[in-house]
Every structure is written in structure tokens, then in C-alpha cells.
Structure 1
């Protein structure tokens, strides 16, 4: 007997796991079983001493030397903890609780002191036996071997137990050097090549869609069990028919289930070195997980045969473990192990704890006939109990399906439902009227103008009576072309009080687009500032109205829930904008939800900064109006002037604000530590919210961060998620439906998705739009009727994933619709405009980076004329910054347009001649542009910033960098007026020179004083 030998490669790998993780459970291995009858505890204890005395590995402990080598020592002491318990008076639930308690009452869990712990508990007609040893000293086979020996010793079959203690016991310390030298065997040449290729990386740190996305408060290993019961015989029959093992059938099925929740998921398998008959009864750690993966693309019967082939390779590959691998630090994520218990076993194993790696999920098949079970040992820091229960059910359903059995229990399809809530008022107008009459509230413009809600309500009533006198009727549509102002709020309310719907129009849009929108909305009247004439529409100059002629009593108009409140135009793929019609019911539902959910109150001060033509502005107007708070209307310049933005937040003591993430990043970047903010909540929407942005926001402003998701067709917001600092994903989830909305996810195959799967998000409920105004065919295409739910779902076109707790994570668009800097754009609208207006024969508009590029064939006019036409008809954010004329488009073998080729072309294309920088300032500016535009093209001094991917948000980043590098104070307007490097450098150089002269004079003065 050697008292000190080098540890085996398996022990070294396990040791590394122990020292690189905080999972103490890795050092404890245990097995528990129920015996149907009484056991002789004294016989078990006596035999236990013999077992521990015979097998040195049970008395082994470990230490490292100064070079880091791991040594195993065999103690002369017999470290046994033996106890007996009486559970005769306990009911079933109490027994279960006691088993859990004893299983968790581990020994000292030290690597420097070996231990063996056994508990024998007597029940009315059975006994529970629990065995626990040091994790480094055993594996699943050894635990089962020792358990069966103890059971035999306790049930009178001592002769069988004694037979195991033969004179030729192979001691593990004698095997360790042999295991370490195994690579010298020429027969294992292929196996050596396998480990040289090192496939372990694929099995490390794997993700599943069911895993936690918010960090758990603790991370321990827990158990879940699938009892096979009546499934065992069908599985055995299937295995016999296909000439494979039951374990191979189960393992193959588990591989399929994992693929459902991650296409990259792979399952490693445990193999041991007991194939040699001399090692058949060897005790100690002889098992190792091997990253062998089969091709899961084929049918199940084929996959089974591949699994069988892996079984033949696995033993040899498992024995080649002399080389260190990455998994020895972090562990394989998913591991399958199995134990075949003898048909002569007299007990049923309930649970086995034997982990040699810091895995995420261990699948352990315990084969014991009709009482067979599949045990799931999982990291609670990786997956919670609810998600694991769902996963186990999925594994069982898949197994039933694969062996051809009729599945009587199907997984429920996912359907997220918001709370069902009834509003306390009939319409948003009713709530506002009550507030104006009782609570108060006011609207403030930054320029100092202020109206109380009572004053606004009176003026809105006067305007409503004025409009009715002029012929406006219930159900009419009135266009609203005013800047965001107190007058806009009055006009919006006045229109709605007549029973008409308002259409907010951005006055900065091209006249052609304004005219098209008003005509498509069939607006009877147009309220504007100054002269704005649209054919077929009565124009009303708000500035010329004398509202004091009209009564302040509200018109006696009854608003029905299905009446339209507003029509909002969004980009459309047909070449023209689509008018999204929103009812009073939808608006009331959203506003009731957001005001209640976030406890808005009269002390709040809301920042109104979003253009009224975007639906995000709607709640910025209506929340303060409905709760009696203060609405602060900021000028348009706030979106391009960081100093003004921060000044507004602090001076106006804003508590609630909505902002797109890209602008929020800039705000955080330029935030001064000395500024004091009063923000309670920042709402984000319009773009995917990165976790780092949300975290930085929470830290910078010490406020709550909420991620809002919702297409205009669902009245502003349909889902929401409150940011949690423990979030572990790169992006913030879009969350769960708001009140009175439900959603479902449809897979690519057309079925309703289950938890963990992904597909197109569809939404139904009170907030869904009434249709695209005057475009019935488009409306029909956007909705899908569900017979089962007797409702219509809006098809968002957004690809989402269902997280384990039912919240949703946005993945990507399923069509070409994009969001650029918060603006919703259908690139096809740009393409169709070019074709429909005869500007070219063919056109394709694509997103390249953060801007649009237009590719066209067969131009009918010059490039300059195309640009002028686009600028005259489309919003600025929809005008491509790059035009590229081609002779032909390239197509893929399947006949589809090669979009990637177009994007690659745009990234390296420039129509302007390259001009290299000639001054120090030009060189520094080029470096700034090159970094922030993140383009592969070489930027010259003649390139127009806005024609090579620049936009307003990037302009603000450039501004911040210029101010930092050159120490000059300029506004973002300078960049809009000086769009090339040459122009910008010419503007900056005199200022830089002046600063340098001033610094020199100051320096001379200071020198003179000295």
C-alpha cells in the first residue's frame, strides 16, 4: 500500500473544478435508496467498517506540493459517521422532508480529511439508506456498488456482500499511474488525435432559452426527477428492436430536446474505464465526460445509430485524459450519465449526487426496471425550479414522441396575458375634465408660457364649439399641423371633444408628404399656424381664431369606445405612408395602464419632447393631463443640444421622461457629476435597449429604468419590463403584455410556440388598432383571426423568444422594416417611391450601418434630381444618405436578391474623389469621423458627413469629441452647416488659434509674475 501517490488525471480535473468554482457540492457524492422491508443496522455498520478498511480510496485525502502537483494520501484512520433514525410515526410528507434534510446535512466537505457517512432510517414497512463520501473518491458506479453491498449486509445476504471483499481488490492508488500513462498505448492513436483537436470548447458555457436571464440570489445544485413507470417497457421494446441500449435511446432523445432550446446545445456523455474485466468491480473515480456529439439533423432512428457509434468510441476517448483541457476550469454544460442496476438489486435508488464538473445540467438515467428514473441535477443559478419543471416535461413529451407512443399530455402553448382591468372612466376626455375641474395641473413651455388645465379645458371647449359651428361633425377627421405647444394641446383636446379624430402632422415634413397624408386621411379640416393649403381640405389658421366668442361649456357629444381618437401615419412598404387608426377604447386602455402601473401623480413633472407625429408622444401628452401633473414642453432643439437637455432636466425638475436608447447613451456620456437630477423613471423605447445602457442610466440618474415595446398598431406600448440590475443578457427583455392585452408567438412552422421557443410576436386585445385608414387590404394582411380565442391578432413582424418565466426577448425583424435612431422605416417605401415616380427602372433600398443606401438601375433622371425628389416627398430620416447606380443586381442561387452583396458594396463605395487631409486639424477630424462612423471606407476631406452614414445622434457624438479634443465651445448646428472635413476645419481653425494665443498670453503673464 502506497501512502502517497500522484493523483490520477480524473482526480486532477475534478480538483481543478473544485478550485475554480464556488460549488462545494462538487466535493460531496451521495446515493439514497429505499429497501422494501427492515434492515439490520448493526450488520450494515459492521460491514461498513470492513468496506472502508478494504478500499483505500474511501480513506483518501489530498494536498498539493509547491509545484502545484496534486497528491493523494491514504489515511490509516477509518473516518465513519453512522446514524440510525426512527420515522415510524411520520406521515408521507414528513418523511419526504426528513429525507431532504438528511441529504442536505453534509459532512465537513474537506479534501484534507476523508469521510464516509451512512444513515439508516426505519419506516413502517421499509428502510431508507443514505450513503455519502468525498466526491473526489468516487463516481456513480462506485456509489451504486457500495450501496448494494450495504443493503446485502443489512438484509441477511452477508455472504454476497462478503464476496465483494475478495483478496484481489484493485486499489485506486495503484491505478492512478496506469491511467496517467494511457496515452502511450499505440491502439489509442485515434483517441489522442481526438483530444488534440479538443472538441471540448463546443460543450462549454452553453446557453438555453429556458435559463435564467436575471442573476439568482444563490447558486446550488438541486434535483428534479422524471419517473419512467409505464414508459419503461415501450422504451425497452424500442431499444431491443433497434439493437441499441435503453440509455442510448434516452440520450438521443435528450439531444433533440436540448436543440429545441438552443441550436448550439451539445450533450457530453460519461464513459468509464471498466470495460476491462479486471476493472469491472474497481472502486474510485474511473468515469469521465467526453464531448462526443452526433448529427441531430436526421430522423430519430438514424440518430440512434449514431449514438451507438459514439458509445463504441467513447470508452477509448474517455481514457485519453492526460492533456489539460478548457473544461477542467469551467466544466461541460450538459452531461449525460447512466447506471445499470442489477436485476437482483433489492432496493430502489431515489437519488444520486455525483458531480465531477461544475456543469449546468446533469442527466442521470438510473436503470432499475419498472422503477427506472431520469434524474436532472441542475444549477439553480442557471435555471429556476419552474423552468426546470417545464424542461423535464418537454423531455418526457419528446421521449414519448420518439419511441412512437401516443402522447396524452402535451405541453401548453404559450400565451402571455396582461391583467384584466376595467377603467374607472368612459374616455380619456372624461378623466381630463374631472382633473381640470378638481385637481389642477399645468402645461409649461420652456420659453416661460404657462396654462393651467382649467384654462386649457376652457379654450379646448371654445375651440370644439367653434369647429362644430364651422361644420365639423362626429366621426370627422381633422389634421393638426402645429408645433408642440400649449396651442397643440388645446387643439388636440378641442378636436376630440367634437367627436372627431385628429391627425398629428409634423410641420417639418416636405409639403408633398403633408398633402398626401391629409388626403389619405380624408381630413375635412386642417388646423395650422399661418397659411397651409391642401386641396379638398378646409384650412384653419389657429392664430387668427378668436375663441373668446365661443362658450366654455363642453359640447354634448357622446364618445363611443370604438370612435377613433387619432390617426397616426407610419412608413409603408407600398410606397406610401399608412394611417394607423386608434380608437378611444385603445387609448383609454393604454393610458389607464401606464398611469396606474407607474403610480403617476400630481407632483410629477413630465418632459414632452417627442414629435407629435410619433405615437410615443401620445402618453407624454395624456399622462399629465389625466393625473393632474405638470407637462413641460421642450423645444425641438433639446434633441440636438445636450447642454440644453440637461439644463431642462435639472431646472424643470423633471421626474418622468421617455427617450430612445441611442440618445440616452449620449446623455449619460455628457452628464456632469455636479448636476442634480430629480428623475424617478426613465422610459426607453423605439430601439433595442442594451443592458449596459440601462445599468449606466440607473447608476447615473439613480432612477428606475423601464423598457417599453409596442408598434403604433398597438397604441403606443404593448409590453414592458422593469430593468433589474441582476440581468445577465446583453439586451433588456421587452417583457410581458400590459393590461387587457394578450400575445402569442407563432413558430416558423405555423404553430403556437411553447416556452423557450421563438417566432413571430402577435398581439390582441383592447389596444389593437382599428385598421389602416382607408386601406382594407393592408389591414386584412396585418391581422390574423384566431377561431379558438375568437379574436384578431396583429402580426408584428418581430421575431421574439419566450423566456423561461414567460417574458419575451426581442431578436430581430422578420421583414425589411427597420428602426433607425427610433424612427420606424420601411425601406421598400423608398424603393417604391423611386420606381412609381419614374426616377429609375429598378431600385432597392437597404440599411447599411445606421443609414439608408439606395441602389438603382436604369436611371431616368440625374442622381441630384433623385435626391431632390426624395427630399421633397419623404421625411429627412427616410432620405438615403448614399445613392449607388448599378448595371444589374446580383441574385442568390435560390433567386433571391443578394442583399449582403449590396451592403458590402455600400460599405466600400464612395462617389466623391478622395482628398487627403492637409492640416493637423483636418487629420484629427478625419480620425474622429473614421472612429465614430465605424466605416471601412477611407474618409477624405471632401466627404459629406451625412452622405457617408452620419446622422443627428452621431453629429452630437462628433460634437462632444471635438469639444474635448480642441477645447472649443460650438453647437451641433455648426456640423449641420459645415458638412465636410474641409469646411469644418476651416470653421474651427481660427477658434483653435485664438485659444492657443490666449493660453500663450496667460502663460507669459504668469511667468512675469514669477
Structure 2
């Protein structure tokens, strides 16, 4: 029998910040379980005490540095008590959270730390090696590194149970809806990450909409499946903590073996990147009727095929399935499509993928063709309360926004005039309207998603071209049935895949390393003398007998004149 969670018994909290959502649940449900991580189980009251003590430590560390209240806190931790308490502590201290994935190369973490101007970095014992490499890289580069607050289990225990000598807890720092809640980094075509600052006012409408649409309630138990550097983590954390539900942390292997974990932990809600679910199905970890406690499954991060949804519907027959979509720049989720449940799933779109659905009422959207005019098929553009105000580096805004009004052609933002709330964010995604719902067709630029991770192909090209033996390089996404695989072609001196993989590990995250490397004497060029990605994709298609996804030309610059 399915234990579907009821709707919240009290209204959604009228908080103006992410920490305010959590604080409202602390007040309403102090003795309910807030977090289960490894062998630790904390109530809302206990997690609040820990976050309060850690927030004071963060403030003290920033004060010693001479900055006073911290403005940005780096979180170099994953799937640990430190990671989740640290996230809340940074928000309680009035700071923006900047997740630093411990698996990323030290050079990339250091670039993010410098670009964001972090006041302090919080790390756990598991990430000690990553912290050491970061310090070594900073010393080698001569780059200043903010204080690193390394928390041990003993220190966490002391912060959870403060003694009389610790004095009263400091109140949460005053924070407004217009303050930055978190900063995430996406791949950049120049080879450097792009910072995406999201205000509390941007993300709260998303969370409220999701809770109300899905009927989340305090009896729910949500699994936290993705890394904190992926924006969906904000959805998992704060839909849970806004309603007094329990956040349950799986080990990385549990995510690809969901049936056993869901049953053991009585999980009711699950977020799934489709290709990760396919891995579970191929390893017999997603068998029919194996997840009777599940009330809802949310898909997102990449295209969703009917067979992938059907596998989950069979495994969790009582769950409602949803397909979610949204760029990081428009606060996590911008469209949703209810797929149904059990054997009554909705059909796929004309291209074989399930629709991404409809845009909520609090957002505006328009689909523009190559001429910059409204059409049934074209680029999806969004604006409204969830849209961010621009990248940390304003130079990254150029070409990513446009001005458009009915009856006029779109004008692409070139940086010559200020960016305003009236500008539309260009998602770079080509969609089609079918039966009132949006269907994702392809990327318009060189940005792709592989297993839920957003990758700028130019970032991979640039990193690979830094190898002494490589002259030119092109990365592509090869579609192989249910899965997508990153592959690379290069010219120069033939080099082993092992050598190229080892080289890239020092420069980019693991998910950005191609699964194969193919040497060509020369890469094909177009009439402008640039590497012809479409020609390389055609070659890959012919050689592999599959589908290689090249970049599709974006909205033409000339159409904006």
C-alpha cells in the first residue's frame, strides 16, 4: 500500500528567506525529524541548535579576517552532517552559500573561490584531502585563500550541545528577500566557470509552487540525491524543510540502487535524473512493485523517454510522476508536466520524449524562432520573479538576454544598455508547443546536459586543447538509446585515452571528461575557418551508427538589428 503524504496541515510559511522557511518548521515541528545522515538523526530543534552554533563560528572566522558578518561562505563538503548544518549556518549568518564540490579539481575550486570572494570555507573530515590540495594549489599560484573551518565530529557534537559557558545563541542575522541566497557555477565557453547568484526572492516562488502542486506534507520523507553544487539540491533541501518533513541522505551508490534504499528508509519522494534511473533498471535495482512507500517521483536534468518513466511507474505504482525543467538562472524549475501514475502514463511528444509541460502563472514565457518572432517552435525565453539579475561577471550577460514585446522583433542584449527586469532570459533550449505543453527538442548553443550535469562543450574543448599533443578538439554528445555519452575528437599527435583522461582530471570535474577520444589527422573547418561541429557530428554518426548531437545555431544576431 502506498503511504502518500497528506497536504500540509498549516499554510505554507510566509517566510522571505530560505532560512526563514526552515525556522518556521523549527517553531512548528521542533521534535520532528529534520535530517537523517549516515548514523545521525536530528530533530528540527537539534539541527537548529547546531546551525546556530556553527553560524557563530562562521561569523567569528569572518570577523578575524576583518570582514565582519560573512557575505559568502564556501561549502567544501558532501553528504555529511557538516554539509547540511553548514548550509543552514551560512544562511543563518546572513551569507550566501557557495557549494564547492570536493570532487572538482583544486584549480576549479580555487577559481570559484577567487571569483566569488569567499569570506570563509567550511569543510568536513571527508574533504580534508580536497582542502589540502586546494591550499597547495593556492600556494603554488600565489592566490589568497580565505580561512578554512574544518569541522570534526567532536566539534559538531560540542556545537549541538552547548554548555553554560557558551552563552545565549545569537539571533539569525537580518536578511531580506533581495539578498543573495546561493551562488552556483556553470561551465563557461571561455574555460572559466560562470557565477549564477540567486536571490531568496527568486527561489521562494519555485519552492512554494512545487509544494502546493505536489501536495508535500510534514509526514513526507525526501531523499537528497544530487550534489549540493547542482541547483536541484536546493529543491530537495528546502521543499523538505519548509514543510517539516524529513531529509534523508543516501550514499552515492544508493542513488543508482533505489529500491533497497527507498524501502529501508521509507522514502516517499524522489528526484531522478533519467539516465541514472536507467542505470538502476539495467542492474535490476528498479524492479516492479519494489517501492510501495513512494508517493511522488520527479524527473529532471535531461530528456525523459517513455520507457524510463514506465520503469519507475512499475516500481512505484502508487506514485505520481512529474517531469520538471528549468535552468539554474531561473531558479531551478520553470515548467512541470504531470505524467500520471501506474499504467496510466501520459504519452510522449512527437519526438519521443515526454513533455516538459507548462510554465507556472508567476512566470512569463515566449517561444521565439530564428527571426526573433513568436512561433510554435523555437527558443524558450523566460522572465518573472524567478529570473536572476545577471551573472557575477556582467560580460557573461552579453547574448544571454533579449528585449522583446508583442509586435516587435527580439533585440539581443549586447551590454551597451543596463540589464532590466523586462529582459527575457534565453534558455538556449529549442522547444515546440504540442497540445498546450512544451516539448524539449534540443540545445541551441554548445551547452548540453549529460546525466543531469550541465556542460559547456567549449569548456571541454578548451581544456583538452591545453594538452601539449592536442592541436584542436571538439566535444559532442552521442545519444545511445536511453543514455547520453560525452565523446571527443581531436587533431595533433595521437595520444592514449588514459593519458588524456589523466590530464583532464586536473582541469575539469569528472562528469566533463569524455568517455572516448578519437584522433583525426585534421578536424573539418567551415567557411569561416572554424572547426565545423556539424561535420564532426556527422562523422561520429556514421562511425558509431548512433546519433551525435551537435550544436544548433542560436537566434541569429542579425535578427535583433
Q: What corresponds to 1:427 in structure 2?
A: 17
* Partner Cα separation in structure 2 for residue 786 and residue 673 of structure 1: 48
* Structure 2 residue 357 is the aligned partner of structure 1 residue 735: yes
Greater mean deviation of Cα atoms: 631-640 or 466-475: 466-475
Corresponding residue to 1:657 among 253, 262, 270: 270
Task: Judge conservation of contact 2:447–2:455 (CA < 8 Å) in 1.
Answer: yes
* Partner Cα separation in structure 2 for residue 459 and residue 726 of structure 1: 45
Question: Gapped runs of 5+ residues in structure 2?
Answer: 1-10, 139-143, 407-419, 549-561
Superposed, 1:320-469 pairs within 5 Å as 424-440=14-30, 441-445=32-36, 447-469=38-60
Q: Structure 1's 698 and 486: CA in aligned 2 closer, same or farther, altered over 3 A? A: same
Task: Judge conservation of contact 1:661–1:689 (CA < 8 Å) in 2.
Answer: yes
TM-score (norm 2): 0.79
Residue 777 of structure 1 and its aligned partner are, at CA, apart by 0.8
Q: What corresponds to 1:480 in structure 2?
A: 75
Secondary structure in 2 aligned to 1:617?
Answer: helix
* Partner Cα separation in structure 2 for residue 426 and residue 822 of structure 1: 29
* Structure 2 residue 304 is the aligned partner of structure 1 residue 689: yes
The one-character-per-residue Cα deviations of 1:438-479 (angstroms, maximum 9, x if unpaired) are 223324436331011111111111111222222264562111
* Partner Cα separation in structure 2 for residue 660 and residue 832 of structure 1: 27
The one-character-per-residue Cα deviations of 1:462-520 (angstroms, maximum 9, x if unpaired) are 11122222226456211101121232111101111111111111112222222222222
* Partner Cα separation in structure 2 for residue 779 and residue 556 of structure 1: 33
Superposed, 1:250-649 pairs within 5 Å as 424-440=14-30, 441-445=32-36, 447-470=38-61, 471=63, 473-474=68-69, 476-530=71-125, 531=128, 532=131, 533=135, 534=138, 535-543=144-152, 545=155, 547=159, 548=162, 550=166, 553-640=169-256, 642=257, 645-649=258-262
* Partner Cα separation in structure 1 for residue 174 and residue 355 of structure 2: 40
The one-character-per-residue Cα deviations of 1:804-863 (angstroms, maximum 9, x if unpaired) are 43x211111111211112221111101122345766332222223432333333459987
Task: Judge conservation of contact 1:799–1:813 (CA < 8 Å) in 2.
Answer: yes
Q: Structure 1's 936 and 689: CA in aligned 2 closer, same or farther, altered over 3 A? A: closer
Q: What corresponds to 1:880 in structure 2?
A: 514
Residue 571 of structure 1 and its aligned partner are, at CA, apart by 1.6
* Structure 2 residue 318 is the aligned partner of structure 1 residue 700: no
* Partner Cα separation in structure 2 for residue 484 and residue 802 of structure 1: 39
Task: Judge conservation of contact 1:748–1:759 (CA < 8 Å) in 2.
Answer: yes
Q: What corresponds to 2:448 in structure 1?
A: 818
Task: Judge conservation of contact 2:290–2:316 (CA < 8 Å) in 1.
Answer: no
Secondary structure in 1 aligned to 2:388?
Answer: coil
The one-character-per-residue Cα deviations of 1:188-243 (angstroms, maximum 9, x if unpaired) are xxxxxxxxxxxxxxxxxxxxxxxxxxxxxxxxxxxxxxxxxxxxxxxxxxxxxxxx
Greater share of residues in helix: 1
Q: What corresponds to 2:6 in structure 1?
A: none
* Partner Cα separation in structure 1 for residue 227 and residue 201 of structure 2: 23
Secondary structure in 1 aligned to 2:423?
Answer: strand
Residue 429 of structure 1 and its aligned partner are, at CA, apart by 1.5
Task: Judge conservation of contact 1:473–1:499 (CA < 8 Å) in 2.
Answer: no
Secondary structure in 2 aligned to 1:736?
Answer: coil
Task: Judge conservation of contact 1:443–1:633 (CA < 8 Å) in 2.
Answer: no
Secondary structure in 2 aligned to 1:877?
Answer: helix
Secondary structure in 2 aligned to 1:467?
Answer: helix
Task: Judge conservation of contact 1:578–1:772 (CA < 8 Å) in 2.
Answer: yes
* Partner Cα separation in structure 2 for residue 489 and residue 710 of structure 1: 24
The one-character-per-residue Cα deviations of 1:665-686 (angstroms, maximum 9, x if unpaired) are 3445623456452111100001
Q: What corresponds to 1:307 in structure 2?
A: none
Task: Judge conservation of contact 2:377–2:432 (CA < 8 Å) in 1.
Answer: yes
The one-character-per-residue Cα deviations of 1:903-943 (angstroms, maximum 9, x if unpaired) are 4555687xxxxxxxxxxxxxxxxxxxxxxxxx559xxxxxx
The one-character-per-residue Cα deviations of 1:725-762 (angstroms, maximum 9, x if unpaired) are 34353322111123521111111111123xxx111001
Task: Judge conservation of contact 2:179–2:200 (CA < 8 Å) in 1.
Answer: yes
* Partner Cα separation in structure 1 for residue 458 and residue 43 of structure 2: 45
Q: Structure 1's 781 and 591: CA in aligned 2 closer, same or farther, altered over 3 A? A: same
Q: Structure 1's 765 and 674: CA in aligned 2 closer, same or farther, altered over 3 A? A: closer
Q: Structure 1's 586 and 838: CA in aligned 2 closer, same or farther, altered over 3 A? A: farther
* Partner Cα separation in structure 2 for residue 721 and residue 824 of structure 1: 21
Length, aligned pairs only: 485
Residue 803 of structure 1 and its aligned partner are, at CA, apart by 2.7
* Partner Cα separation in structure 1 for residue 326 and residue 273 of structure 2: 13
Task: Judge conservation of contact 1:589–1:739 (CA < 8 Å) in 2.
Answer: no
The structure showing larger relative contact order (alpha-carbon pairs under 8 Å, at least 6 residues apart) is 2
* Partner Cα separation in structure 1 for residue 34 and residue 238 of structure 2: 11
The one-character-per-residue Cα deviations of 1:113-139 (angstroms, maximum 9, x if unpaired) are xxxxxxxxxxxxxxxxxxxxxxxxxxx
Superposed, 1:913-932 pairs within 5 Å as none
* Partner Cα separation in structure 1 for residue 302 and residue 168 of structure 2: 42
Q: What corresponds to 2:366 in structure 1?
A: 744
* Structure 2 residue 432 is the aligned partner of structure 1 residue 801: yes
* Partner Cα separation in structure 2 for residue 551 and residue 778 of structure 1: 46
Residue 635 of structure 1 and its aligned partner are, at CA, apart by 0.9
